[in-house]
Structures are given as structure tokens and as C-alpha cells.
Amino acid sequence: MGYTGVTLAGLVWLLLLSFGLLVVRRELSILQDRVAVSGAAPADGLAIGALAPRFPGLRADDVVLFFFGDCAPCHELATEVARSADPGRYACVVSDGAMPGSAAGVRALLPADARALVGEEAAAVRQRYKVHSGPFGVAVSDGLVVSKGVLRYAEDLEQLRRAGYGAAASTTTP
């Protein structure tokens, strides 16, 4: 087998490798689309258009965020809330999750002026809003649920904020 045979074999392997990479890329793209769609219609939370339960500390136009102490993404998004220009615009419902006492870690990430509901009050809000996992957000406008979903990125917070407060909501952060 001369140089021609080795070159030909090498080209065949490169072609097979390229084809394999294309297949893997396609499969990852399909998986990404499936994951994105799964957050579009979450099972948790009240139905869109439902009357939002009233609680002290929650407003008729509000963004209610649900965090759990034993949830790493919840810690990341609580940090994003703390970095926002006005953390008081969010009502943060902080629960323990599966680890008793773990809510204190999330609460410590939020600034002192953040509206945070903890303990039994948080459990009551979670129950009435039908939220079982986090991080989860619900936008309320005029007392009605207008948007909801699993929160994955800081941009998700902004989308909920606009749904709850309208397009005039500021996007500036320090």
C-alpha cells in the first residue's frame, strides 16, 4: 500500500469523523430545543390568567420569585436579584426545600431591602401558588397571573419583570 492508499484511507477516516461530528451536533441541537420547550409550559404554578392569591408583602403588579435553599440555580438567580438596580421590585419566596434550614443561605444572598418571605409565610405562598420546584417565577399584573416559568438565566428575570410591570421596566443594573 503506497502513499495513495494511506492518503485515501486517511480521507475516508476524515469523512467518517466529519459525518460523526455532524450527527452529534444535530443531536445536541435537538436536545437543546427539547429542553427549551420544556420550560415554556411548566407544570408548576397557577394557570396564566388565574387570579393571583393575595398575601401581605405581595402587590397587585408584582414579580414573585420562588427559591429553595438546597438549589444551586436558586442561589445563582438570588445573586442576580441582589445585583439588580431595584431588588425590591421582586417578591422573593425563600423555602428550605429538602434540607431544613437551607433557606437562610439564599436569604443571606439577598440585600436587606429585598422583599423576602421566609418560613411558614413562604410555605403558604408556595402552596397557594402551586410551586413545587425552583427557581420559578410568576409575573402578576392587575392581580392576574400573566407569565410564569422556570428561571434559567438573568434574562428570564427581565422577561418576567416586563410582563409584571410592563415594557417601561428599567433594564439597567449596576
Question: Can you tell me whether residue 31 is helix, strand or coil?
Answer: helix
Q: Which three cell numbers stand for residue 7?
A: 492518503
Where does the pLDDT of residue 14 fall: very low under 50, low under 70, confident under 90, or very high at 90 and above? Answer: very high
Where does the pLDDT of residue 36 fall: very low under 50, low under 70, confident under 90, or very high at 90 and above? Answer: low
Average pLDDT of every residue of the chain: 83
pTM of this prediction? 0.69
What residues make up the domain containing 29?
1-38
43 domain-assigned? no
The percent of residues above 70 in pLDDT, for the chain, comes to 89
54 domain-assigned? no
CA atoms within 13 A on the CB side of 65: 34
In this structure, are 34 and 114 located in the same domain?
A: no
Sign of the dihedral through C-alpha 42, 44, 47, 53 = negative
Q: Which of 1-5, 39-43, 117-121 has the lowest mean pLDDT?
A: 39-43
55 domain-assigned? no
What is the C-alpha separation between 1 and 7, in angstroms, rounded?
10
What is the total count of domains within the chain?
A: 2
Whether 37 shows a pLDDT value over 70: the answer reads no
Where does the pLDDT of residue 153 fall: very low under 50, low under 70, confident under 90, or very high at 90 and above? Answer: confident
Whether 169 shows a pLDDT value over 80: the answer reads no
End-to-end CA gap in the chain: 67
In this structure, are 83 and 23 located in the same domain?
A: no
In this structure, are 15 and 81 located in the same domain?
A: no
DSSP string, 95-117: E-TTSTTTHHHHHHHS-TTSEEE
In this structure, are 8 and 70 located in the same domain?
A: no
In this structure, are 153 and 67 located in the same domain?
A: yes
Question: Can you tell me whether residue 171 is helix, strand or coil?
Answer: coil
pLDDT at 138: 92
155 vs 171, higher pLDDT? 155
Whether 171 shows a pLDDT value over 50: the answer reads no
In this structure, are 32 and 77 located in the same domain?
A: no
Return the CATH number at 105.
3.40.30.10
What is the C-alpha separation between 136 and 65, in angstroms, rounded?
6
In this structure, are 109 and 142 located in the same domain?
A: yes
Q: Which of 27-31, 49-53, 121-125 has the lowest mean pLDDT?
A: 27-31
SS3 content of the chain, % helix, strand, coil (to 5): 45, 20, 35
